[in-house]
Structure 1
Amino acid sequence: MEKIGFHGLEAHKKSHAAFAEQAADYLHRYKKGTAPASYEVTHFLMDWITQHIKREDMEYAKFAGKK
């Protein structure tokens, strides 16, 4: 992304960092014995797939295809 000058790089990095932070929180809660409800985790993952991968990553893919 940096190499091709993708305009959304910083926002994309922040999005990935937020995903990793939330996933780490779920893991931490699981290890403490206070795991979130499965629907919470499922919703989180489905949102990532539909919002991030299908939209944000596709925006990057379109940008890369123009280069």
Structure 2
Amino acid sequence: MTDVMPECRTHGDCFANRGGVCTCLKDNDFGGRDCPFYKPADTVREGRRRQNGGMVDGNQQI
């Protein structure tokens, strides 16, 4: 059996949306309600910068 990620065209700016597919959830049917896991990608990136002292992942000096 192959696990298929669900299509999601509701939130194109979500951190988990890659080409119209949800990369986090196996099922995104919330009975007509909005996705409770939705978070805009720019919000997630900003949170990551604050957590690591302003450094961007992959661009850190050692």
The TM-score with structure 2 as length reference comes to 0.29
Structure with greater strand share of residues:
2
Structure with greater helix share of residues:
1
Higher relative contact order (CA 8 A, sep 6+): 1
